[in-house]
Amino acid sequence: MLSTSRRGLGLVLVLAALLAGCAGGASTVAPTPPAPTATAALTREDLDAWLDGVVPAGLERAGIAGAAVTVVRDGQVLTSRGFGHADTAAGEPVDPARTLFRVGSVSKVFTAVAVLRLVEQGRIDLDADVRGYLDFPLPLRHEPPVTMRHLLTHSAGFEERIRGLVTLGEDTEDLREHLATDPPEQVFAPGTTPAYSNYGYGLAGYVVARVSGMPFAEYVRRSVLDPAGMSSSTFAQPLPAPLRDRLSQASATVDDPPAPFETVRPSPAGSLTASIDDMARFLLAELGAPTLLSPAGQDLMRRPALGADTLGALAEGPRMGLGLFDESRNGRRILGHGGDTAFFHSHLQLYPDERTGIVVTMNGSGRGAADSLELREAVLHGFTDRYFPGGAPAPPVPGSAERAALAQGTYEAARAPFTTFLSAMNLTGQVTATARPDGTLLFTPGPLGVHPAVYREVRPWVWQEVGGQRIVAMRPENGRVAALGVEGAFTLLPAPPERTAAVVLPVLAASVAVLLAALLAWPAGAFLRRRYGRPLAVPRAERLALLGTRLGAGAAVVALVGWVAVVLTLVGLGEVPTAVLAGLVALQAVGALGVLPAAASVALGVRRRVGALGVTGRTLVLLALAAVAGVASVYHLLSVDLGF
């Protein structure tokens, strides 16, 4: 549900060139020359031996209980393997035929197939206004109208919303109610700024239900799962009784107790439960035996769905098909999708030209923040490099140093809340680009990564990771870089100073320190004056101003602590009552209003000649309250809209 390696909610919010053209222009992304030559034979024997050397050690190192991997080629299942345990306490091993995994956002590939089956029947138009298929109003702020093409490429322009995304415990879902109640703001023009959107895929699934006349899970079962032979798979939540006891237990690490069932909303974006053997059957169906879509439908799904007419220069980098990311590597066309719930982590990849596919899934996150991602990449990248290795890197590009200088700065993710209090989370996911003397760019951290990464230009405005294969495309506008495109559905935008962590966090930390010091100094000063018999004759107006300043300072500090607690609770999949949010907004407002008495106390102190030290202290408090109020305004901590 939460996209692989991507900032998850775990917003653990994680691919590079497609060969096919798209409507509106041919792809300019070419595979890395020369054509690679395999150094290992892709046979069951070699593959199993290689997996035995990678997966068990990776599970043990990360502290993950179990995993499963399948690989298909030329219409045959080469291997379908379980590793580790589905139930550690009972000693139950992962069984590739029996054990079920939640595959998170890999579900979106199935949703896209369901949509395209209706497109092939002429019942859905990819480029029609999607509101024509809905039975509730969808407020939109930008033109052109949102289409199914936009929904399936994460380019409808919606901001991120996380309320109810993953909840612990079995529950049912009213898909319409989830989508119609407090929909996210549309913050970008459709087709221009890809920003991964679970809500968008929820809308796509709801259109499927409306057009087909049956619940989404039922339609997908009949039109996708059953034709592919996936009898052990379902989008239903809770799980049907025959499947319930087959679901793998899941937990962060092998040492933690099993987690409850995760209810994912909206279900079309991430609720699929499947065995690894069933995922092998889906790979076979996607690669042609049996087919779920016609050859034209398969081509439509796989080729880039958006062009330079809307994306601009971002079209020079990897672009999404309909439900599939361009994850090309070593000059091979690879299409895929990852997925994460809070505890399950999965990834699917197709090699259309080699008629090969691979899926890896696991039932734990690991002890480190990136453990599940690193193990998936060890399997996926290791598979490509072993059986489909690449050639020499591209030569240097003239003018890189000048373009690197234009790209310097701090960037924030377009996949983010922008109009709610959770926009404050954007401070934690920013990327800084620094031009280096050799014309390369240092990203800290690397886009969609956790470690710093160096990129070199391989074509004008297209940069590739040094020692890796991730691609970043830049969209220049008016002499500056206006956007960075990563993996086709993730865009990084220049962060304005008031939203730059390097500016905001030090200012906020200094302000809180000043306010805390003042809050402690006021009672300490009063105590000392009483103790040593030196009461101050302070005029009533000044006393009131000081009292108002104290109330504002206290409210501002308490509100900030409360917001941090709220964010941590939500990230931990906890619930936060609306009354708590309303209370924090009220406290934040009191803190902001504290600027007025603080300004009055400075003026009155100057008039009464309280001395340089007194005026300086009051001025610092005034500046601290103003800074906190400014941050609160920028990050919507004063908004009466409590949606998230």
Res 16 pLDDT > 60: no
Sign of the four-CA dihedral 553, 557, 560, 565: negative
pLDDT digits (tens, 9 = 90+) for 21-56: 222 322 223 333 334 445 789 999 999 999 999 999
6 band by pLDDT with thresholds 50, 70 and 90: very low
> What proportion of the chain, given as a percentage, has pLDDT over 90?
81
Res 191 pLDDT > 60: yes
In this prediction, residue 610 carries a pLDDT of 85
Averaged confidence pLDDT in the chain: 90
In this prediction, residue 643 carries a pLDDT of 83
Does residue 120 sit in helix, strand or coil? Answer: helix
162 band by pLDDT with thresholds 50, 70 and 90: confident
In this prediction, residue 526 carries a pLDDT of 63
User: Which is more confident, 18 or 332?
Assistant: 332
HSE of 43 in the Cβ direction (CA atoms, 13 Å)?
Answer: 5
User: Which is more confident, 14 or 154?
Assistant: 154
CATH architecture of 15-106+217-387: 3-Layer(aba) Sandwich (3.40)
In this prediction, residue 528 carries a pLDDT of 56
> What proportion of the chain, given as a percentage, has pLDDT over 70?
91
**Token pair 């889906």 is at which residue?**
282
Q: Where are the domains of the chain?
A: 15-106+217-387, 400-495, 499-634
Asked if residues 372 and 366 have their Cβ atoms less than 8 Å apart, the reply is: yes
In this prediction, residue 529 carries a pLDDT of 58
Which helix (H) or strand (E) covers residue 558, if one does? helix 540-571
425 band by pLDDT with thresholds 50, 70 and 90: confident
In this prediction, residue 17 carries a pLDDT of 25
How far is CA 190 from each of CA 129, 148, 156, 315, 491, rounded to the nearest angstrom? Answer: 11, 11, 5, 15, 13
Supply the DSSP symbol for 619.
H
Sign of the four-CA dihedral 428, 253, 6, 206: negative
CA neighbor of 488 nearest in space, from 347, 260, 258, 305: 305
